[in-house]
Structure 1
Amino acid sequence: MPKPAQPRELPARLLTDPEMIDACQVRDFARVFQLVKKHAGIYPSMIARLCYLTPSRVGEVISGGRRLQHMDVVERIADGLRIPGHMLGLARRTWETPAALAVTQRSQPQAAEPEQPASTALPGSEVDSVLAFTSKTGPSPSTLRALQSSIEDYWRRDDQHGGEALRPAVVGQLRYVVGLLNDGKSHSIKHGLYGVAAELARLTGWTHFDARQYSQARTYFTESLQLAKEIDDRQFMANVLACMSLQATYQDKPADALAFVSAAQDAARTATGSTPRVLSMLSMREAFAHASLGSPTATHTAISEAHRQFERIGASDPDPAWVSYFDEPKLIVDTGIAHGRLGEAAAAEPLIAEALRREKDSNQRGRAFHAFWLARTQLDLGKLDQACHTATEALVSASSVASERLAGHLREFYEQLTAYRQEPVAVAFEARLREVFPG
């Protein structure tokens, strides 16, 4: 058997590429291997090592001389290349399960590691587990405060730089917190730990969503719902369902988006003490879903309800921390985006411009998203120079953020410039786009 190599995650743009999706659905591994080579830089010899195949067998597949049909081979390819199981008609793979909840992982022969000097070597995970067991004093209220503080720091860093680099730390902390749930402790501590775990799972799902890795995102969002359900936190369940609604709009599934946000609103209405800010945010998500369905009347009604609820917000409202981002600039920009999704560019432009002016400098991803939407509405209004200038400003913010979702938006804007490709402003934007997002 070939010496194993370390699996690595395929680029999000490849996993969402229609050609890759089609090739996986029909199990055309000649095309799959060619696409992996072209877009991920994984050459046939590495494919062979990752999937426990011989190089000659991989070569025969690529040349069309052999088809791979045995289920164990298909599973090895899914695991070796990190192709989500559903793409190949398989059950969810063990590595797709949230790391905190995975019981076992597929064992692989381990290559001998060169010895490291004692001064630089790190202890193995089993050593950490033993030491944690012997020194554990049990979580306390200060533990919960520290965990929540970490989450708030993750939120800030996600806004500034995107979530991809955060994901290992978030997943590691999720694993740690879920481990604590099995220990005996007071009701209030256990309730708090479930809440922390639910937010860590939601945040992990969000980082996958932002990378356009939709299957993995759905896995973590679903786990977050289950954790929140354990403590009957219906407001937080509404928050997760709102995230799933937004993802559905990105997947061009507006009916699903409306179903998710309707369920979110039902959960919030039956929750004890749902605040106007939460209800306003959910109404705006509803507006997005109706706009994606092309329903102006329903969209405008949802927008009005979002503003009505926002006007009811009081200084002493017990808002959960996770909804604090939904401030007045966010309400304004989302209103503009909802109008923009309907094609009502004249109504959208001043709203998005005002929100962009008021956006925090530290929220680089938000600034880039809002600048994209402003550029799109300006282009819809025939303001080519302004649109390209605004889109270039979006690239400035996007250059410091790892977000495949954002990159996709800006490439989408470039496609909308097809009729103006020869114009100097469009040429300049294309050059800058290729600098920031090569390939």
Structure 2
Amino acid sequence: MDAFPNPAALPAHVLERADVQQALARRDFGEVFRLARKWGGISFSKIAEACDIKSERVGALARGEGAITTHDKILQVCDALRIPGHTLGLLPRPWETTASRQSPRTVAAREENNATPPAAPSLIPPPRFPGVSAQAGHFGTQGSEAEAVHAFRMADRQVGGGHLYAAVMQYLSTRIGPGLVAESSTPASFVAAAGLTEMAGWMAHDSGRDAVAARHFHRALNLASAGEAAALTAQVWASRAHLALHRADNTAALVAADQAWQHLDGSEDTALRGRVLTMRARAHAVNGDGPACRSALAQAERLLSTAQGPPGSEWTSPFDSGSLASEAARSMCDVGDYAAAVEHAHLVMELRGADRVRARALASLTLARALIGQGHVDGASAIAQGVGRTAAGVGSLVVSGQLSGVANALAPYEGAEGVGTVLAELRGVLTQHRGMYHWLGDDREEGAYG
């Protein structure tokens, strides 16, 4: 029996619906309330009582009027509707541990497995591999960690690292860390730890915690070295180059990009080589070397235009023509070729579907930056306004930071027709976004491992 009973709990068949999952990914709680009534028969009054929200407010949210943005209220809704924490990028809620031990599904599974003790609640369900069974408390193959990385990547593309950082750190602490000190640890254990630690670094960066991200990348380098993984080492150096670019440390960016290049040994896949070339291009751009920038971009474009084989490593990140176009647009902005930047940014929008929310937002902001460079302030203003209206659904302080940069670039034109109105709206959006994610702003890590 659930030790935390709640009459507004969403039934499993409602939680598992695609439309409900999409609403949760956007943190559109008004839509969740509407779908809870439609598919679960849970009245607005019952939701209101459980969430400590006025009934009329619940109805307004369900009609798309307003949003729930404060962290405390999000936790309250999560608990009231029994939304698993990982769905919203949170650590498991107190009721999840008790419920997972006592639910009929868990009891049935226990009986089926000859009364095997229940596994500790996990953020990612044990993946299924042909001929491999996941025993309680651990995964039987290294591939399961690779599946976890894939699942985190898919979620990150839609909702941003701000929603997922705590979940990744929990996974590292409970699933990866213990294996590093076990007698049975192998180089593969360190490679898995390196891959997930690098991912944690990216999510910390997306959460506005660059000092934490730098520590994760440094640790990932050490782990990749211990695992003798040259390709992953090169990738982490490329990640360090990206972080240095974001922090305007142009010299460090060039050093890191060169280190990434030097660690390529020919065994890497096309995607990784293209990524490293692109980071070299960006580093050359910010250091004022336009010819070297264009040369590296041209090499990457030729490389990625050929048929790509399967990834050389399950731990290296995807990098395709859309990724290249995004970085090329930024590089062209940095060298002042705004026409080329516009062309590359438009290509990103063509190649990235609606599910790639953050990628499209960042490409749009690069496009706005290029349009300002060309003097097309009205077009840039309209694009920034569009991004601002979707920013609340992306847990990315990188997006809000770039939106702030575009707003600052528009400020000298505040007197132009329509621009002042847009700037007022953007300032309100940015204030709200900072309020939503203020809990991400410090440099503390969620846990330790290794």
- Please report the TM-score for the alignment, with normalisation by the length of structure 2: 0.63
Q: Are 1:192 and 2:188 matched, yes or no?
A: yes
Q: Secondary structure at the match of 1:424?
A: coil
Matched residue, 1:181: 180
Equivalent in 218, 225, 240 of residue 222 of structure 1: 218
Q: Are 1:274 and 2:274 matched, yes or no?
A: no
Instruction: Write the distance in 2 (CA, Å) between the matches of 1:119 and 1:372.
Output: 45
Instruction: Write the distance in 2 (CA, Å) between the matches of 1:318 and 1:250.
Output: 27
Q: Per-residue displacement from partner, 1:7-38 (whole Å, max 9, x unpaired)?
A: xxxxxxxxxxxxxxxxxxxxxxxxxxxxxxxx
CA, structure 1 residues 136+120, in 2 after alignment: closer, same or farther (shift >3 Å)?
Answer: closer
Q: Secondary structure at the match of 1:399?
A: helix
- Please report the TM-score for the alignment, with normalisation by the length of structure 1: 0.65
Structure 1: state its 5+ residue gaps. 1-115, 123-129
Q: Per-residue displacement from partner, 1:163-216 (whole Å, max 9, x unpaired)?
A: 12212221111123120222233x7xx333322211211111112212232221
Q: Which amino acid aligns with 2:412?
A: A
Instruction: Write the distance in 1 (CA, Å) between the matches of 2:203 and 2:382.
Output: 29
Matched residue, 1:290: 284
Contact conserved, 1:277 with 1:319, CA < 8 A, in 2? no
Structure 2: state its 5+ residue gaps. 1-94, 102-117, 121-134, 433-450
Contact conserved, 1:364 with 1:398, CA < 8 A, in 2? no
Higher relative contact order (CA 8 A, sep 6+): 2
Instruction: Write the distance in 1 (CA, Å) between the matches of 2:311 and 2:411.
Output: 49
Matched residue, 1:140: 140
CA, structure 1 residues 379+314, in 2 after alignment: closer, same or farther (shift >3 Å)?
Answer: same
Instruction: Give the share of equivalent positions with the same residue, in percent.
Output: 22
Q: How far off is 1:408 after superposition? A: 1.2
Instruction: Write the distance in 1 (CA, Å) between the matches of 2:365 and 2:176.
Output: 37
Matched residue, 2:207: 211
Q: Which amino acid aligns with 1:162?
A: G
Q: Which amino acid aligns with 1:171?
A: M
CA, structure 1 residues 321+183, in 2 after alignment: closer, same or farther (shift >3 Å)?
Answer: closer
Instruction: Write the distance in 1 (CA, Å) between the matches of 2:246 and 2:155.
Output: 23
Instruction: Write the distance in 2 (CA, Å) between the matches of 1:155 and 1:341.
Output: 28
Matched residue, 2:296: 302
Instruction: Write the distance in 2 (CA, Å) between the matches of 1:170 and 1:326.
Output: 21
- Moved >6 Å (runs of 4+): 118-122, 135-138
Contact conserved, 1:367 with 1:397, CA < 8 A, in 2? no
Q: Are 1:248 and 2:272 matched, yes or no?
A: no
Instruction: Write the distance in 2 (CA, Å) between the matches of 1:120 and 1:136.
Output: 17
Q: Which amino acid aligns with 1:180?
A: G
Q: Are 1:332 and 2:331 matched, yes or no?
A: no
Contact conserved, 2:187 with 2:228, CA < 8 A, in 1? no
CA, structure 1 residues 358+428, in 2 after alignment: closer, same or farther (shift >3 Å)?
Answer: farther
Q: Per-residue displacement from partner, 1:32-66 (whole Å, max 9, x unpaired)?
A: xxxxxxxxxxxxxxxxxxxxxxxxxxxxxxxxxxx
Contact conserved, 1:374 with 1:387, CA < 8 A, in 2? yes
Once the two structures are superposed, the pairs formed by residues 385-396 of structure 1 within 5 Å of their partners are 385-396=378-389
Instruction: Write the distance in 2 (CA, Å) between the matches of 1:414 and 1:220.
Output: 31
Q: Secondary structure at the match of 2:161?
A: coil
Q: Which amino acid aligns with 1:416?
A: A
Matched residue, 1:430: 423
Q: Which amino acid aligns with 1:157?
A: A
Instruction: Write the distance in 1 (CA, Å) between the matches of 2:166 and 2:221.
Output: 21
CA, structure 1 residues 378+147, in 2 after alignment: closer, same or farther (shift >3 Å)?
Answer: same
CA, structure 1 residues 431+279, in 2 after alignment: closer, same or farther (shift >3 Å)?
Answer: same
Q: Which amino acid aligns with 2:143?
A: R
Q: Secondary structure at the match of 2:415?
A: coil
Q: Per-residue displacement from partner, 1:328-374 (whole Å, max 9, x unpaired)?
A: 12222322221111111012112211221221211111111000000
Q: Which amino acid aligns with 1:181?
A: L
Contact conserved, 2:338 with 2:373, CA < 8 A, in 1? yes
Give the aligned CA root-mean-square deviation in angstroms.
2.8
Instruction: Write the distance in 1 (CA, Å) between the matches of 2:261 and 2:354.
Output: 32
CA, structure 1 residues 359+137, in 2 after alignment: closer, same or farther (shift >3 Å)?
Answer: closer
Q: Are 1:414 and 2:407 matched, yes or no?
A: yes
The number of residues matched between the two structures is 308
Q: Which amino acid aligns with 2:252?
A: D
Equivalent in 263, 270, 275 of residue 259 of structure 2: 263
Matched residue, 2:124: none
Instruction: Write the distance in 1 (CA, Å) between the matches of 2:419 and 2:216.
Output: 39
Instruction: Write the distance in 1 (CA, Å) between the matches of 2:396 and 2:178.
Output: 30
Matched residue, 1:69: none
Q: Secondary structure at the match of 1:388?
A: helix
Instruction: Write the distance in 2 (CA, Å) between the matches of 1:358 and 1:331.
Output: 11
